[in-house]
Amino acid sequence: MFQSFEAKTRPGDGAPRLAALRAEMAKAGVDGFLVPRADRFQGEYVAPCDERLAWLTGFTGSAGFAAVLSDIAGVFIDGRYRVQVKAQADLSVYTPVAWPETKLEDWLIEQLPKGGVVGYDPWLHTAAEVARLEAALGRRQIALRPMANLVDAVWADRPGPPMAPARAWPVAHAGRSAAEKLALVAGTLAEAGEDAALITQPDSLCWLLNLRGADVAHTPLMQAMGILRRSGALDLFVAAEKLAGVDLPDGVTLRDPATLATVLAAETGRVRVDGSSAPAAAKALLEEGAAEVVEGTDPCLMPKARKHPAEIAATTAAHLRDGAAVARFLAWFDREAPKGQLTEIDVVEALEGFRRETGVLKEISFDTIAGAGANGAIVHYRVTRETNAPVRPGQLFLIDSGAQYEDGTTDITRTLPVGDGVAQVAREAFTQVLQGMIAIHRARFPKGVAGGHLDALARAPLWAAGRDYDHGTGHGVGVYLGVHEGPQRIARISTLPLEPGMILSNEPGYYREGDFGIRIENLVVVVEAPPVAGGDAHRAMLGFETLTWAPIDRRLVVPAMLAPWERDWLNAYHAEVLGKIGPLVDADTRTWLQAACAAI
């Protein structure tokens, strides 16, 4: 099993670890210390040696941070984790803080007197984050002090850094060789009049060099940083043993990661730094030396986001393979769950088993979220042996999962009835979520429209009923890379225009704490939309094509709530599911699929 069911943390560890950290704070002469859920690469998944927030607080969510003061320790979490943090952290010593509704700088100003000092590890906070905090806190005479990590000082059994070997990813899937990508990205630096760019995100370097690694769970990343020159040369800061036997393009020089600070301090010329992802320490080293720092986005981000046709073809094949595995799972669940003998762990094991039977599963793309009843309302719930709940008839069951194949990354959510007896209020909410999902699938929009402009389409049916959900509607997805990839998003705060080739999730939801959770998710790719008769001939329009093919449970739909075009979309989608997936599954699953895909 790729997924473990052991609890990674214990709430009881929180108090003594917090006391030890506060003792270090007193020695260092600081009134506070920041503990982000981050490593120096700012990725979603971190290696065990970088799980400082989880080690200290018990909270294992993929986003959040702690601000530890002498008399209060705030754990800042967004809406996805407000239920989870209550179960994992010792609330007698940790105080959950709703974020981003409450800004860290405002909270610190409220808690600290003038003259207060807050310590932080400058390799774990981005340059932009530190600049924002310094500006806000400085107005109240509260200082930020960069320092060695105080958590590391008290974490006696901290694991060592990951050293997994990396491997080449086929050009047939990538569409371009690493040499071609290096020339492409270096060309953008030359056009901008820049001499080099600091690249600190491993997924950018893995994309750039057509490499895949295994340094963190679920995402095939090789942790590394690089300095790309306008000539196309690349200094790659990574342990050489990770790349033993891998052929790299001419101009790529391997350097010991321990030399990064020295190299940065000696840089000259105009160097691009993405302040939203680069560590504050890295930018400071450049500024203190002879380099001219130029603020700009990671030059790999947009070329990586706009998938090459070969990448689209590869991930399309992966999604069909995954769809067949998911169909087999759904048929199994429909048969076994109403018997009342399953647990959440049984379901997770079964789904991974069906994917393993493809013979080509590399990993799961994240820990499967499998929530029965009230656990479905925990947006990023991860079942453990301690929380493992029975699957009971009459419940809703939310299952959000994904796979990593050599040719693609998948992410799919389905909400399922366990037999009969699902409450009418849940069926109505399910239908509203479905209507929002259909609205995104059907959307046509002019070039230049951002994901933030589309987000309300998915929420409108819920808003009309006085409901909403506390997460974005869609995130970017890579191709045998991160299941969460930027910069493209469908979310209120996203201002980036969507472009052809971008892959996104479409996943509205609704969650009633203590009762049930609903989410339906497909992946889509942005495409150029065909012209409409009578439309503006000069106005280029975009739309979405579907990548994910699996039944949406018709038994939870209230047909009378659907508009004719919504009904037509659902029936057409199910007809395509049957046509694409039916030939890939066994006879029994095909029979089940025919019923699951019948027209409403």
**What's 534's domain CATH number?**
3.90.230.10
Residues 212 and 350 in one domain: no
Residues 311 and 293 in one domain: no
Residues 318 and 180 in one domain: no
38: nearest Cα among 98, 139, 128, 124: 124
Residue 71 identity? D
For residue 1, being part of any structural domain is answered with no
Q: Which residues contact residue 14 at a Cβ distance below 8 angstroms, ignoring those fewer than 6 apart?
A: 56, 57, 58, 89, 90, 93, 94
User: Which pLDDT score is estimated for 79?
Assistant: 85
Residues 184 and 78 in one domain: no
Give the dihedral of Cα atoms 467, 471, 497, 133; nearest 10 deg. Answer: 120
| Domain total in the chain | 3
Residues 361 and 236 in one domain: no
Q: Which residues contact residue 460 at a Cβ distance below 8 angstroms, ignoring those fewer than 6 apart?
A: 436, 439
User: Which pLDDT score is estimated for 12?
Assistant: 87
Residues 355 and 446 in one domain: yes
Residues 349 and 458 in one domain: yes
For residue 576, being part of any structural domain is answered with no
User: Which pLDDT score is estimated for 10?
Assistant: 84
383: nearest Cα among 395, 393, 372: 372
For residue 586, being part of any structural domain is answered with no
The stretches of 9-126 forming alpha helices (DSSP H) are 14-28, 52-57, 84-88, 104-111
Residues 266 and 356 in one domain: no
User: Which pLDDT score is estimated for 540?
Assistant: 93
The residue range of the domain holding 183 is: 167-298
Task: Name the E strands within 396-500.
Answer: 396-401, 403-405, 408-409, 412-417, 445-446, 474-476, 485-490
Last residue in a domain, options 249, 271, 298: 298
Residues 328 and 293 in one domain: no
- Contact between residue 513 and residue 282 where contact means Cβ atoms under 8 Å apart: no
CATH number for position 255: 3.40.350.10
Last residue in a domain, options 245, 274, 298: 298
User: Which pLDDT score is estimated for 9?
Assistant: 83
Torsions phi, psi of 486, nearest 5?
Answer: -105, 180
Residues 253 and 371 in one domain: no
For residue 475, being part of any structural domain is answered with yes
For residue 161, being part of any structural domain is answered with no
Strands 117-120 and 32-36 turn out to be: parallel
For residue 520, being part of any structural domain is answered with yes
What are the pLDDT tens digits along the chain (600 aa)? 899 998 788 888 999 999 999 999 999 999 999 999 999 999 888 999 999 999 999 999 889 999 999 999 999 999 888 888 998 999 999 999 999 999 999 999 999 999 999 999 999 999 999 999 999 999 999 999 999 999 999 999 999 999 999 999 999 999 999 999 999 999 999 999 999 999 999 999 999 999 999 999 999 999 999 999 999 999 999 999 999 999 999 999 999 999 999 999 999 999 999 999 999 999 999 999 999 999 999 999 999 999 999 999 999 999 999 999 999 999 999 999 999 999 999 999 999 999 999 999 999 999 999 999 999 999 989 999 999 999 999 999 999 999 999 999 999 999 999 999 999 999 999 999 999 999 999 999 999 999 999 999 999 999 999 999 999 999 999 999 999 999 999 999 999 999 999 999 999 999 999 999 999 999 999 999 998 989 998 899 999 999 999 999 999 999 999 999 999 999 999 999 999 999 999 999 999 999 999 999
Across-strand partners of 399? 370, 414
315: nearest Cα among 174, 453, 171, 141: 174
For residue 40, being part of any structural domain is answered with yes
Q: Which residues of 503-540 are buried (b: 16+ CB within 10 A; e: fewer)?
A: bbbbbbbbbbeeebbbbbbbbbbbeebeeeeeeeeeee
Residue 218 identity? H
- Whether the CA torsion 266, 270, 271, 276 is positive or negative: it is positive
Last residue in a domain, options 119, 154, 189: 154
Question: Residues, the chain, total?
Answer: 600
- Contact between residue 519 and residue 400 where contact means Cβ atoms under 8 Å apart: yes
**Which uninterrupted H or E stretch holds 300?**
none
User: Which pLDDT score is estimated for 33?
Assistant: 99
Residues 348 and 488 in one domain: yes
CA-based R_g, the chain, Å? 24
For residue 380, being part of any structural domain is answered with yes
Residues 191 and 91 in one domain: no
- Contact between residue 87 and residue 52 where contact means Cβ atoms under 8 Å apart: no
